[in-house]
């Protein structure tokens, strides 16, 4: 539903930025996203950079301006129950736009500069940016999808209030957050659009997500002729399929499924191959990828060991990026 008219600690968010940029293989099962052009004030990052997480955060952090800190004990809770005219968003999140903005809008993986306070259902202040001398900076990708979908509709300058039921954060609540219904007040002051590039310099569009689970590929996963299922985790802006002569540099992470448990068996595998020499049935996926694409591939029992020997006869999930 459209939106009409805190300092979030780095320990809550830095792990996500490292995963998103440093590994260059976004951890999420999502369908192939639409292309988008970088904005003029993009915060550039390169997958091969020595410390891409710092690059992204530093680019956005240049935006906050110093302001007077507010004493924590002077902060008063907002109404703890949503008013009757509050709108209803995904996951039962209620929201109220206190002030409409007129500036830029963040995308799902952009960094944003905000002032915010988080309150528990009984009116206790859990976290706030106001006692600090400047606003908070974090990545939109760290938020639960129910909140992310609402935040990406806000424009710079907006002030909004969210009433968030605890079940709307299921699977996404940071350990440090209270296990409670929550009320947020948030003011968006700046957006830093994120551009990630692969080792060949090709721009890619990452998408937020999570590590794989044992539920198997989603219904909208794409299928190769032999039945391999895969989804895109990141999408190259420049579309160019590999030829038989191309040297394909790959970065991969492999998981296996044991019952209902997903186990990491090999992380950050760097290797190279060609379409002709790709092990198992991997060439069926590789020949569909542009340089900079990232995919998650589901391999049935026994198929994974030709690619990742440690997988043995277990079901295997392969997060794979390719550059050429």
Same domain, 160 and 249: no
Rounded to whole angstroms, how far apart are CA atoms 252 and 262?
16
In a domain, 200, yes or no: no
Q: Which residue in this structure is represented by tokens 């002569």?
A: 245
The per-residue pLDDT for range 273-297, each reduced to its tens digit, is 999 999 999 999 999 999 988 999 9
Same domain, 166 and 310: no
* Residue 2's pLDDT band (cuts 50, 70, 90): low
Residue 167 has pLDDT above 50, yes or no: yes
The pLDDT score that the predictor gives to residue 45 is 34
The pLDDT score that the predictor gives to residue 58 is 42
Same domain, 191 and 218: no
Per the CB < 8 A criterion, the answer to whether 135 and 5 are in contact is no
Over residues 189-205, mean pLDDT: 78
Q: Is the pTM of this model over 0.75?
A: no
Rounded to whole angstroms, how far apart are CA atoms 38 and 32?
18
Same domain, 191 and 241: no
In a domain, 36, yes or no: yes
Give the list of residues 6+ apart from residue 160 with CB closer than 8 angstroms, or none: 3, 95, 96, 97, 98, 150, 154, 184, 185, 186, 187, 188
Same domain, 242 and 100: no
Alpha helix stretches (DSSP H) within the chain:
10-17, 52-61, 145-151, 283-286
Per the prediction, the chain carries an average pLDDT of 80
Q: Which domain holds residue 107?
A: 10-195
The pLDDT score that the predictor gives to residue 301 is 93
Same domain, 154 and 302: no
The pLDDT score that the predictor gives to residue 49 is 33
Q: Which residue in this structure is represented by tokens 């009320």?
A: 183
* Paired strand residues for 119: 125, 183
The per-residue pLDDT for range 236-282, each reduced to its tens digit, is 878 889 999 899 999 999 999 999 899 999 988 999 999 999 999 99
CATH code of 310's domain? 3.10.50.40
Same domain, 80 and 174: yes
In a domain, 205, yes or no: no
The pLDDT score that the predictor gives to residue 8 is 35
The pLDDT score that the predictor gives to residue 3 is 56
Same domain, 63 and 184: yes
* Residue 102's pLDDT band (cuts 50, 70, 90): very high
The total of structural domains in the chain comes to 2
The per-residue pLDDT for range 12-61, each reduced to its tens digit, is 333 233 333 333 333 333 333 343 333 333 333 333 333 343 344 444 44
The pLDDT score that the predictor gives to residue 110 is 87
Same domain, 251 and 105: no
In a domain, 149, yes or no: yes
Q: Which of 195, 226, 241 is the last residue before a domain boundary?
A: 195
Cα end-to-end span (Å), the chain? 41
Same domain, 183 and 231: no
Same domain, 77 and 124: yes
The pLDDT score that the predictor gives to residue 288 is 95
* Residue 65's pLDDT band (cuts 50, 70, 90): low
In a domain, 300, yes or no: yes
Over residues 77-86, mean pLDDT: 94
Residue 300 has pLDDT above 60, yes or no: yes
Burial class of residue 97 (count of CB atoms within 10 Å of its CB; 0-12, 13-18, 19+): middle
Same domain, 59 and 138: yes
Reduced to 3 states, what is the DSSP secondary structure of residue 53?
Answer: helix
Over residues 110-127, mean pLDDT: 94
In a domain, 2, yes or no: no
Pick the residue with more confidence: 48 or 107? Answer: 107
Query: Considering the chain, what percentage of its residues have pLDDT values greater than 90?
Result: 52
Residue 62 has pLDDT above 60, yes or no: no
Q: Which of 163, 195, 227 is the last residue before a domain boundary?
A: 195
Q: Which of 195, 226, 250 is the last residue before a domain boundary?
A: 195
The pLDDT score that the predictor gives to residue 178 is 93
């Amino acid at each position: 539903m459209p939106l009409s008219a805190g300092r979030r600690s780095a320990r809550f968010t830095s792990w996500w930025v490292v995963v998103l940029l440093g590994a260059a293989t976004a951890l999420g099962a999502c369908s192939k996203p639409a292309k988008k052009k970088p904005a003029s004030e993009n915060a550039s990052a390169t997958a091969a950079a020595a410390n891409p997480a710092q690059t992204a955060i530093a680019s956005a952090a240049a935006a906050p301006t110093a302001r007077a800190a507010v004493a924590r004990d002077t902060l008063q809770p907002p109404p703890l129950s949503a008013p009757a005219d509050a709108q209803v968003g995904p996951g039962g999140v209620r929201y109220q736009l206190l002030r409409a903005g007129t500036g830029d809008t963040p995308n799902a993986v952009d960094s944003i500069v905000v002032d915010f306070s988080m309150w528990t259902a009984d009116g206790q202040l859990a976290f706030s940016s106001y006692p600090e001398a400047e606003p908070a900076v974090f990545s939109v990708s760290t938020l639960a999808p129910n909140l992310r979908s609402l935040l990406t509709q806000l424009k710079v300058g907006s002030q909004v209030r969210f009433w968030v039921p605890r079940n709307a954060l299921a699977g996404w609540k940071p350990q440090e957050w209270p296990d409670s219904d929550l009320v947020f007040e948030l003011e968006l002051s700046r957006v830093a659009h994120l551009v990630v590039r692969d080792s060949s310099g090709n721009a890619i569009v990452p998408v937020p997500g999570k590590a794989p689970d044992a539920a198997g590929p989603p219904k909208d996963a794409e299928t190769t002729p032999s039945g391999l299922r895969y989804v895109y985790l990141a999408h190259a802006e420049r579309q160019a399929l590999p030829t038989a002569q191309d040297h394909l540099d790959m970065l991969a992470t492999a998981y296996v499924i044991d019952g209902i448990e997903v186990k990491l068996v090999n992380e950050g595998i760097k290797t190279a191959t060609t379409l002709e020499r790709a092990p198992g049935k991997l060439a069926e996926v590789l020949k569909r990828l542009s340089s900079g694409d990232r995919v998650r591939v589901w391999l049935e029992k026994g198929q994974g060991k030709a690619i990742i020997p440690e997988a043995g006869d277990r079901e295997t999930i392969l997060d794979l990026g390719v550059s050429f």
